[in-house]
Structures are given as structure tokens and as C-alpha cells.
Amino acid sequence: MIWQDGRLLSPGKIRRGDRLHNGLRVWPPERSKLAALSYLDADPPIDNARVLYLGAAAGTTVSFVADYAEVVYAVEFSRRPMQSLIRLSQERRNIIPLFEDARHPERYHAFVEKVDIVIQDIAQPDQPEIAISNMIFLKPGGMLILFLKMFSISVSKNQDDICSRAVSKLKDAGLCEITTVSLEKYHGGHVAILGIWNR
Amino acid sequence: MFWYDLCSTDNRTVDTGSLQFQPLVEALRSHRDDGTLAALYECKEAAMTGFFVDRATYISVLNRVTIGMVVRDLEDSGDKNEMELIHLVRILEETDRTISRMNEKIEDYYLALSPSGLTDSKRNIWGIVQNFAVSRDHPLHAVSRDLMRLRESRTHLAVFIRQKAEETIPNMSALCGPLVASRLLSTAGSKKHLASMSSTSLQVLGAGPSLFSHLVSGTKPPKHGLIYEFKGIHNSGRKVRGRVSRVVACQLSIAARIDFFRVSRDDEFIRKAGERISRAGGEK
């Protein structure tokens, strides 16, 4: 991924509202959790990858991922964000928009191939389970990046407990080398869970 | 069978130019809904069956086909009346915000130039706006005139929303007034969500910040959210307000369910619910 002067940049076509640096789009960590992850930890391996993005929302992050990746399968189940996502996927032909509930991968599996990396950014209480049910799309040795919003699981429980519970669920499902990165600096109440699928 | 087998073309090699997307989209949707759409994992298979010349073509066709499917699904999903109401309410709220912000700025302007206005016993913003609107060569003439028109349009919009709410959510409208009912609907997002809500959630709908501060740091729980705007609650005595809003929320959640599942107005229910609410308002 492209870093210049300590900033993460993105090589794609410029969209309205983008900040620019040396003629390239700036990928701001405050707006995108994936960028925050590369600032705080390491670059996710999305270069020329096949990506399944669950919870694409209006496509802010997806637009950047699509700049790097070969193809992005973007799943979103909410009407208003989907409208923006359609506009985006008309601009970028390597985005495959899917208007489905990520809880039911069987509804969209005809359109998704085996991918190198699954990114999940869904603020739902059953986030880990949704990720696990989508592991059918992940190649052996592929990576899962899960952005866990702890407030959407519980507001009163201890945050470390929530996180470790999610991690143990993923471990039971067959993910290994699980690491967690707190995104507190840029996104309050969020933690990134990274794991390798080894089945 | 793979999804691209549904394309009916004579020569099996498809490129982006020659493919008719609309029939394909229709066929795919029906097969998906039957559950007869088989899985396609690799582009290799598409290439082997001779459908696409290369992977880039495959991806670009897939992009167009899925866009077509999503647009179709968006068109068919959801109740148009309900969505219209939700969006109109949001526009109404935005209009209200615009009007009050503009009013404030115009008052600031007026007071900056003639501070003597501060000693008036009553704030009279609309008087100021009206004065500006009639004096033709005032710099704010056009703006003030438009603002007054905007207020008129707001009233028209509100009338329309009332009618619409009485059609789409008749029971809730009858209980707490069409405007409050449609605000609840627009905050919840859909009739379905509203109907599946517990009445306690409905009671504090719109009071998010104070609810979370209660859950996190143990401050007092909120007694009411949006439903506070209902006359029966904000006109009731301070002491019974919590009780009244609880009862109102209970009845409203039943009304929401009738509105979602049965849609028609139930006069018997409305009468009983009204009695309950007025009983809750009486001092014990």
C-alpha cells in the first residue's frame, strides 16, 4: 500500500469530497477503520486481492479497498447506504454490490467466489457468528478482519470480556493466529480482530 | 447449473457488449428466490464453459448484473406508503430546523443594529421577519419573504403528513396524534421494527444519550423520549409523568402491532387504550 510523508494514500479515481496529497486520494484513519488499522498495526494484504466486505455501508472504505484490490464483493442490507453504494459501483466496475443480509450467505453465494480476505464491519450483537458463517468464502490461509463494535454487543459489560468472548468464539470455529488491535485512538469503542483461516 | 448458464445466447462466449442484462436479472432473481441457484466459486468454471473470454470480462458482467439485481430488489422491497411517510417526516424536521436557525440569525442581525429591541417585554422574531418582508428595499427583504413562505410550505407539508399517517398508521395516530406517531415511525425506521419493539424501548425512543448515560454510569433512567411531545404526557403533572408515559408506551406498542399486522383502525382498542391513558393521568 502507498505511504507518503506518513500518510496512507490510495491510487484510484478521485471522488467528490476526497482530500488529495501529491495528486492521490488520502485514506483518512478517522473515517475508515481499515485505514486506522494500517496506521496502528500493519497494512492489510489487500493489494490485488479478492475481498469480501460485509457491511459495506455507503462505501467509504469500499471505495479505497477497490482501489487496491482486484475485486470487492460488498454486502450491505440497508436501503439508504445501498443507494450510495450503487452509485459507487457504477464508477468502479470491480465492486460487486449485494443487497443481502450477511447472516444468510446462501442467498448470495452464487455470486461470490473464494476470496483472499474477508472484512467485516457490521455493528450487530452476533458479529462473530456472522463472520463464521461467511468463512465458506475464505480460502485456506486467508485472512479475516473483524471490526468489533463493543457497544453494539453490550453497553454495560466489561469491554475486555466482550472482546475475549468474541475471540474465543472465532478460535472455536477454526481461526488461528488471532490478534486484536484496539482502534480507540481513531474509533472509540472499536477493536479489530485479525485471524487466519486454517481449514 | 451455474448462474451464467441462465444467459441464453447462441454462441456461448459472452462479452459485455452483447449481453442483455434485464432478462438475466429477472431469471436470476426468480431462481434465487426458488433456491435453485447453484454456487459459483471460481471464474475458472465460467471460462471453462466458454462464457467469458477472461476474468476481467467476467467481473465486469457480474458488476452490471448485480447492480441490476440490487436496483430491482430496492424497487420491490418495502411499503411505498410507509417509506414516503418516513422521508416526509425527515424533511419536515429538517425544515423546522432551517426555519428556527434562520430566525435566530435574523434576530441577531436585528438586535445588533438596534439593541433597544432587547428591552421589549417579549421576543417577537416573527414580527421582525414580517417587517423585513414588507419593506421592499431592505437587504433581507427577499430572504424574509422566502422564510415566511417556507413556514407556509411547512404547514402544508404537516397537513399532508397528518393525512398520510392516519392512513398508514391509523391506530398509533389515533392514540398520540399523527405527527408524533409518524415521528416515532421515522425514528424507528420501519413499521416492522416499531412493531417488534418492546414498549419500554418505545417509551425511550429518541432519548438515546440519556438512556446510554443511564446504562453506563448509572444516572437516572429517562422517563420518555419522543412520546414526550404527545400532549397527554407533557401536560400531565410532573409526578405522574413517568407513569403516564409508561402506559402510553404500552398502548402505543400494541397499536404499532395492530398497524403492522392488521393495518385497519380498531375503534374498540382505541377507546379502551384512551381510557387507560386518562386513568393513569389521574392523581392517586
Query: How many Å lie between the alpha carbon of B134 and the closest alpha carbon of chain A?
Result: 40
What pLDDT does A174 receive?
87
What is the phi/psi pair of residue B230, to 5°?
-70, 130
Calculate what percentage of chain A has a pLDDT beyond 90.
57
Query: How many Å lie between the alpha carbon of A97 and the closest alpha carbon of chain B?
Result: 6
Residue A53 in grid coordinates: 466486505
If you measure CA to CA, which chain B residue comes closest to A112?
B41
Tell me how far CA of residue B86 lies from CA of B181, B183, B253, in angstroms. 11, 8, 18
Strand pairing report for A7-10 and A2-4 = antiparallel
CB contact under 8 A, B212 and A82: no
Q: Hey, is the C-beta of B219 within 8 angstroms of any chain A C-beta? A: no
Residue A161 in grid coordinates: 470480556
ipTM: 0.90
Mean pLDDT of A100-118: 89
What is d(CA A54, CA A76) in angstroms, rounded to the nearest whole number? 7
What is d(CA A127, CA A188) in angstroms, rounded to the nearest whole number? 17
DSSP output for chain B: --GGGG---SSS-B-TTT--HHHHHHHHHHHHHHT-PPP---HHHHHHTT-BSSHHHHHHHHHHHHHHHHHHHHHHSS-HHHHHHHHHHHHHHHHHHHHHHHHHHHHHHHHHH-GGGGGSSS--HHHHHHHHHH-TTSTTHHHHHHHHHHHHHHHHHHHHHHHHHHHHSHHHHHHH-HHHHHHHHHHH-SHHHHHTS-HHHHHTTT-HHHHHHHHHH--PPPS-SGGGGSHHHHTS-TTTHHHHHHHHHHHHHHHHHHHHHT-S--HHHHHHHHHHHHHHHS--
What is d(CA B183, CA B189) in angstroms, rounded to the nearest whole number? 10
Q: Hey, is the C-beta of A113 within 8 angstroms of any chain B C-beta? A: yes
- The pTM for the full model equals 0.81
Most B CBs within 10 Å: which of A51, A75, A76, A79, as the mutation test of the B interface? Answer: A79
Instruction: Write out chain A residues lying below 8 Å of B59, CB-based.
Output: 70-71, 93-94, 96
- The amino acid sitting at B274 is G
What pLDDT does B9 receive?
60
CB contact under 8 A, B66 and A111: yes
Tell me how far CA of residue A49 lies from CA of A5, A115, A181, in angstroms. 25, 8, 22
CB contact under 8 A, A99 and B60: no
Mean pLDDT of A192-199: 88
Going from the first residue of chain B to its last (284 residues), give the mean pLDDT of each consecutive group of 10, the final group possibly shorter: 70 66 82 74 75 84 89 85 92 95 90 82 82 88 92 95 92 90 90 90 84 83 82 79 88 92 89 87 62
Tell me how far CA of residue B236 lies from CA of B177, B226, B284, in angstroms. 16, 16, 13
Q: Where does the pLDDT of residue A131 fall: very low under 50, low under 70, confident under 90, or very high at 90 and above? A: very high
Most B CBs within 10 Å: which of A53, A75, A99, as the mutation test of the B interface? Answer: A99
Instruction: Write out chain A residues lying below 8 Å of B82, CB-based.
Output: none
Q: Hey, is the C-beta of A91 within 8 angstroms of any chain B C-beta? A: no
What pLDDT does A37 receive?
93
What pLDDT does A147 receive?
93
Q: Indicate if the pLDDT at residue A36 is higher than 90.
A: yes
A135-175 per-position pLDDT tens digit: 989 999 999 999 998 888 887 788 888 899 999 999 998 89
Residue A6 in grid coordinates: 506518513
Tell me how far CA of residue B256 lies from CA of B100, B199, B246, B269, in angstroms. 31, 10, 15, 12
Average per-residue pLDDT in chain A?
Answer: 90
Tell me the count of A-B CB pairs closer than 8 A: 58
Q: Are A98 and A86 in contact (CB under 8 A)?
A: no
